[in-house]
Amino acid sequence: MTQLIQENEIRFDARDGYSLSGRILAPDNPKAAVLISSGTGFPKGFYRKIAAQGAEQGFACLIYDYRGVAGSAPDRLRGFQADILDWARLDFPAALDRAADLAPGKPVFTLGHSVGGHLVGFADNADRARAHAFVCCGSGYWGSHDPAYIPRALLFWLGIGPLNLALKGHIAEGGLWGGTALPKPVFQQWRNWAFRKRYFGDLLGEIEGSRFDTLTTPIRNYTFTDDQLASERSAREMMSLYSAANPEIVRLSPQDVGARKVDHAGAFSREAAGFWPLPFEWFETYL
């Protein structure tokens, strides 16, 4: 039976009161709620199709923009102070609570693309979710990418990124970067981690509140064989940080979901629509 879906644009406060942009897609009587967290540089609208799929399957879904990104960006990014840990400790936890409010008394789940899966390990309320599904979640260490991707990664870290900071004071939208505009501290923190073999793994003892090794909530990471960024090695290294959860890595080919190409972000394109039901079907097993 086709669900009657309500779709609404909202604003809600992060943990420190910063106003975040969100969009709710929900059926009239949801069986559970799902928070969908973006990859770095992807606006919330990029995930609208998979959120609509979730709503059709009976889940109330919340998509949102991190501070400094798209609908949650200030008028001027130069000088704006926000980094990835702010996304993880201030934005994600508030979004998870807001998502849970969409289906009171029912389970809440998370679906995180790329860095959206990293944030879970820093959030103090991550265990509020009954299960976490990741998509193309891997380490950002440059040496763990597919060899064919490494020149592009180094060009971003050593050329495009620093040039953008020098000229504009932030990472500009589009061009060879290809994503939305990013605050300077996001790029600096991301690059610092990218040149460490364990990414942020060997820094977790210094980052207050990190709980990668204590979170026991089930985790499943959907990865693709043609993803040059979140390669098999990269995904394995990142999931090793969630040691207490014993995460599962599901390796799919583009053909498994009816697509010619998926790579790092194509799982959310119409060509890969065969993928969209899979995380929600997995959530069903935890209702």
Find the CATH number of the domain harbouring 264.
3.40.50.1820
Measured distance CA(265)–CA(100) in Å, rounded:
26
Q: Tell me if 39 is assigned to some domain.
A: yes
Residue 3 has pLDDT above 80, yes or no: no
Q: What phi, psi does 154 have (nearest 5°)?
A: -65, -35
Range of the domain at 51: 5-146+197-284
Q: How confident is the model over 66-89, as a mean pLDDT?
A: 98
- Model confidence at 1, in pLDDT bands (50, 70, 90)? low
- At residue 144, the pLDDT reads 98
Domain count, the chain: 1
Determine the Cα–Cα distance for residues 205 and 263; give it in Å rounded to an integer: 32
Of 240, 252, 244, the closest CA to residue 218 belongs to 244
In a domain, 117, yes or no: yes
Mean pLDDT within 192-210: 96
Confirm whether 120 is domain-assigned: yes
Residue 153 domain flag: no
b/e per residue, 200-222, with b = 16+ CB within 10 A?
bbeebeeeeebbbeebebbbbbb
Q: What's the DSSP call for residue 106?
A: S
- Label residue 174 by pLDDT band (50, 70, 90): confident
- Per the confidence metrics, is the pTM higher than 0.95? yes
pLDDT tier for residue 2 given thresholds of 50, 70 and 90: low
